[in-house]
Amino acid sequence: MDEDKVYFYQIINFYIMKKLSREEAKKRIEWLRKEIWRHNYLYYVLNKPEISDAEYDKLMQELRELEEMYPEFITPDSPTQRVGAPPAKEFKSVRHVRPMLSLDTAHSEEEIIAFDNRIKKELNCSEVEYVAEPKLDGLSVELIYENGKYVRGSTRGDGINGEDVTENIRTIKAVPLVLRDDEIPVPRLLAVRGEVIMHIDDFEKLNKELIERGEEPLANPRNAAAGSLRRLDPRETASRPLDIFFYEIMLVEGYEVDEQWEALQTLKKWGLKVNPHNRKVKNIEEVIKYHEEMEKKREELSYEIDGIVIKVNKFEYQERLGEKSRSPRWAIAYKFPPREEETQILDIVVQVGRTGILTPVALLRPVDVKGVTVSRATLHNEDYIKQKDIRIGDWVKVARAGDVIPEVIEVIKERRTGKEKIFKMPSRCPVCGSKVVKEGAYYRCTAGLSCPAQLKRAIVHFASKNAMDIEGLGGQTVDMLVEKGLIKRISDIYRLKKADLQRLPRFAEKSARNLIEAIEKSKERNLARVIYALGIPNVGEHTAKLLAEKFGSIDRLMNASMEELISIKEIGPETAESIVNFFKEKRNREEIEELKKLGVKMEYVEEGKKKLKGKKFVFTGSLKSMTRGEAKAIVEEMGGEVLNTVSRNIDYVVVGENPGSKYEKAKKLGVKIINEREFLRLIGMEKEDGEIIPLDKFMKGL
């Protein structure tokens, strides 16, 4: 669909919705749900989307609006209801329908051949057919569907009992809340097992955000997936990019399946995502080939796998083979060799992050770990070092976890010579010498932006692509500017002169001019970017956007109370507190004033049609060109809000004929007052040349 068409449908929808009868609305809601389910299936399971994200969002939006008008038609399986449950105090324990077994593991060809021989002997046949699947490195969950409806989800726990994470799993977009029945009927009961994973790039992005917010990064995608799923507040799970693959029917009633391969195809028909690399293989030679192929493919996959799983295909054979105490005899994991090497810790240095947190980092004798040279590894914090008893000079095993941050797995104690040195966290900041305080497991330099390390990082963050996007103001330049004393605080960026830059090494006339121009251009960024750029702890890009939309200006945000902040749907108490504390600091407020004086724009400008987004209106007196109801509809359609009482929070008081006491109050409080004409201009009903668009035509265009 092209843009025009989408727009056309949007207008039609707007009108349809306003005029739909209750019955018609119900029908439309049902149609929308089905349509959204179908697109989910096309996107997640078949990987063949038919519409763009924007078109999909429109369907969701329409459904949301209709459900808002007719809340009685909301059902728990509606695609709008993924996030709705309140935070839990703790997870309930639930018993799995059948024990969730684990797998024996093989690490070599010999072991896998021995496994095959045992099976052939037991079954008394010369060749056995297997299903080979990637062994996904995530966390195993059980989902229950009753008559096609998602009713429960749990973690593996001890295999017998798991934690009830129904609401958290519901937030994973790849989980259908209703099974499809267009190809085959849905079963009465289905217990299905799958693996919740986080894609590597999402993991890296999440870690970057955590670091930027001054929080501790997660060790690997598996931990990130597990940690994200097990948040007590499902809204937090919803904000984490989780995915899932299903691989095992644990129990099915009302549908017959005889083979693992068939089970996988059946899951797919029900709309449950299965891994595209699964393969049916004729014998163990093909398993070995598959293992080799997948080990190569591993490097290209967007998620982590740590081996393959092979399963005897026929269920009849599986039953004959049976189970041991905790693992089946008909399946085995064939792991890949670890991406791990041995090397020596030459030194341990301490890095100072943007929020002052000191992180110990091991400098390693460079070593090639499956194609990647590793020369540093994070040691997280003091406790980590103590737990693993890591010393300078130690020989250690390092691994690439999830292709990402190299990690010290363990110390090879046998190689100790006695010359190794115990590391101690410094009591003063290694960069600025200020006092260091201990906060939980972390040490923090107390100097704030007077610490050059923190200042440098704050500036780099401020200028980064997703923040103020100042091209040319990267790490090395910032280091130089801070070291030469040209930047002592953030606002100094806007005091830089071309001549200052030209005196620096590596700066010619042209590069100096370019940087000054880039700095100049950055003054026009929208409010969300400015908020994000300030580097308020816990405020990532998404939160910054919410704040910009909600408050509309930096001044209003600066004066926001805890209550106001918490009332925003996706902002929790911790973030709210960070924001309030940040703006309490005199230094920060001063810095914002400086930025403003230097010409940095701090107002929210909404692009597109919703130009009144977040704006609050009060009307008093009668309007000539429209009724109050029409005015309200217009403001709301343009993203604004109409309230009844005047307070300092109101953006505009629109004064018509014979205004009431609200007018007086607005004058007293100094709230912006506009007349009808100005209102028409604001909404665009009066054009620049003074022509007024007739009301019905104008409303149609909304």
Q: Are 560 and 580 in contact (CB under 8 A)?
A: yes
Nearer to ligand IVH, 132 or 362 (CB): 132
Q: What residues from 236 to 255 belong to the interface with ligand IVH (CB under 6 A)?
A: 247-248
Stretch 104-133: interaction string toward ligand IVH, x if CB under 6 A: -----------------------------x
Closest approach of ligand IVH to the CB of residue 140, in Å: 3
Nearer to ligand IVH, 136 or 175 (CB): 136
Closest approach of ligand IVH to the CB of residue 247, in Å: 4
Question: Which listed range, 101-109, 312-320, 363-371, 472-480, lies at the site for ligand IVH (CB under 6 A)?
Answer: 101-109
Give the DSSP letter of residue 45.
I
Token code pair at residue 435: 């006092």
Largest CA distance in the chain: 97
Stretch 194-233: interaction string toward ligand IVH, x if CB under 6 A: -x--------------------------------------
Give the DSSP letter of residue 540.
-
Nearer to ligand IVH, 330 or 443 (CB): 330
Residues 6+ apart with CB under 8 A from 677: 686
Q: Are 558 and 595 in contact (CB under 8 A)?
A: no
Closest approach of ligand IVH to the CB of residue 307, in Å: 9
* 135 contacts ligand IVH (rule: CB under 6 A): yes
CA 655 to CA 659: how far, in whole Å? 6
Q: How many CB atoms lie within 10 A of CB 459?
A: 28
* 427 contacts ligand IVH (rule: CB under 6 A): no
Chain centroid offset of residue 683 CA: 35
Cα 255 to Cα 120, 153, 315, 458, distances in angstroms: 29, 21, 14, 59
CA 516 to CA 592: how far, in whole Å? 20
Nearer to ligand IVH, 333 or 600 (CB): 333
Closest approach of ligand IVH to the CB of residue 346, in Å: 36
How buried is residue 190: exposed, middle or buried, by Cβ count under 10 Å (0-12/13-18/19+)? buried
Closest CA relative to residue 193, chosen from 295, 378, 384, 331: 331
Length of the chain, in residues: 702
Nearer to ligand IVH, 309 or 592 (CB): 309
* 429 contacts ligand IVH (rule: CB under 6 A): no
Nearer to ligand IVH, 28 or 339 (CB): 339
* 331 contacts ligand IVH (rule: CB under 6 A): yes
Closest CA relative to residue 243, chosen from 354, 134, 349, 137: 137
Nearer to ligand IVH, 130 or 582 (CB): 130
* 102 contacts ligand IVH (rule: CB under 6 A): yes
Cα 115 to Cα 109, 313, 359, 389, distances in angstroms: 10, 15, 46, 38
Closest approach of ligand IVH to the CB of residue 271, in Å: 19
- Number of chain residues interacting with ligand IVH (CB under 6 A): 14
Which residue in 94, 103, 463, 638 binds ligand IVH (CB under 6 A)? Answer: 103
Residue with tokens 């097992």: 193
Q: What is the 3-state secondary structure (H, E, C) of 585-652?
A: CHHHHHHHHHHHHCCCCCECCCCCCCCCCCCEEEEECECCCCCHHHHHHHHHHCCCEEECCCCCCCCE
Q: What residues from 469 to 488 belong to the interface with ligand IVH (CB under 6 A)?
A: none
What's the angle, vertex CA 170, arms to CA 169 and CA 173, rounded to 5?
95
Closest approach of ligand IVH to the CB of residue 68, in Å: 39
Closest CA relative to residue 682, chosen from 606, 599, 600, 627: 606
CA 572 to CA 271: how far, in whole Å? 34
Which residues lie across from 259 on neighbouring strands? 314
Closest approach of ligand IVH to the CB of residue 111, in Å: 15
Residue with tokens 């994000």: 532
Nearer to ligand IVH, 334 or 652 (CB): 334
Q: Using the Cα atoms of residue 159, residue 161, residue 167 and residue 170 in order, give the sign of their dihedral.
A: positive
Which residue in 49, 328, 448, 621 binds ligand IVH (CB under 6 A)? Answer: 328
Closest approach of ligand IVH to the CB of residue 302, in Å: 16
Question: Which listed range, 95-103, 438-446, 596-604, 631-639, lies at the site for ligand IVH (CB under 6 A)?
Answer: 95-103
Q: Are 187 and 44 in contact (CB under 8 A)?
A: no
Q: So which residues are the catalytic ones?
A: 135
Q: Are 491 and 595 in contact (CB under 8 A)?
A: yes
Alpha helices in 103-214 (DSSP H): 109-123, 166-170, 200-212
Nearer to ligand IVH, 327 or 625 (CB): 327
CA 245 to CA 140: how far, in whole Å? 10
Residue with tokens 């062994």: 135
Closest approach of ligand IVH to the CB of residue 277, in Å: 10
Q: Are 673 and 620 in contact (CB under 8 A)?
A: no
* 309 contacts ligand IVH (rule: CB under 6 A): yes
Closest approach of ligand IVH to the CB of residue 309, in Å: 4
Q: Are 342 and 395 in contact (CB under 8 A)?
A: yes
Token code pair at residue 138: 């995530």
Closest approach of ligand IVH to the CB of residue 270, in Å: 17
Residue nearest to ligand IVH (CB): 140
Which residue in 83, 143, 178, 333 binds ligand IVH (CB under 6 A)? Answer: 333
Nearer to ligand IVH, 203 or 442 (CB): 203
How buried is residue 690: exposed, middle or buried, by Cβ count under 10 Å (0-12/13-18/19+)? exposed
Question: Which listed range, 56-64, 326-334, 352-360, 617-625, lies at the site for ligand IVH (CB under 6 A)?
Answer: 326-334
* 163 contacts ligand IVH (rule: CB under 6 A): no
Closest approach of ligand IVH to the CB of residue 169, in Å: 15
Nearer to ligand IVH, 248 or 606 (CB): 248
Q: What is the 3-state secondary structure (H, E, C) of 280-295?
A: EECCHHHHHHHHHHHH
Nearer to ligand IVH, 264 or 515 (CB): 264
- Work out the end-to-end distance of the chain between its first and last CA atoms, rounded to an integer number of angstroms: 20
* 142 contacts ligand IVH (rule: CB under 6 A): no
Which residue in 59, 94, 101, 699 binds ligand IVH (CB under 6 A)? Answer: 101
Residue with tokens 């306003």: 18
C-alpha count within 13 angstroms, C-beta hemisphere, residue 655 = 16
Which residue in 80, 140, 155, 543 binds ligand IVH (CB under 6 A)? Answer: 140
Question: Which listed range, 18-26, 96-104, 383-391, 486-494, lies at the site for ligand IVH (CB under 6 A)?
Answer: 96-104
Stretch 592-631: interaction string toward ligand IVH, x if CB under 6 A: ----------------------------------------
Question: Which listed range, 76-84, 99-107, 546-554, 643-651, lies at the site for ligand IVH (CB under 6 A)?
Answer: 99-107
Nearer to ligand IVH, 102 or 627 (CB): 102
Q: Which amino acid is at 94?
A: V
* 533 contacts ligand IVH (rule: CB under 6 A): no
Query: Which parts of this chain interact with ligand IVH (CB under 6 A)?
Result: 101-103, 133, 135-136, 140, 195, 247-248, 309, 328, 331, 333
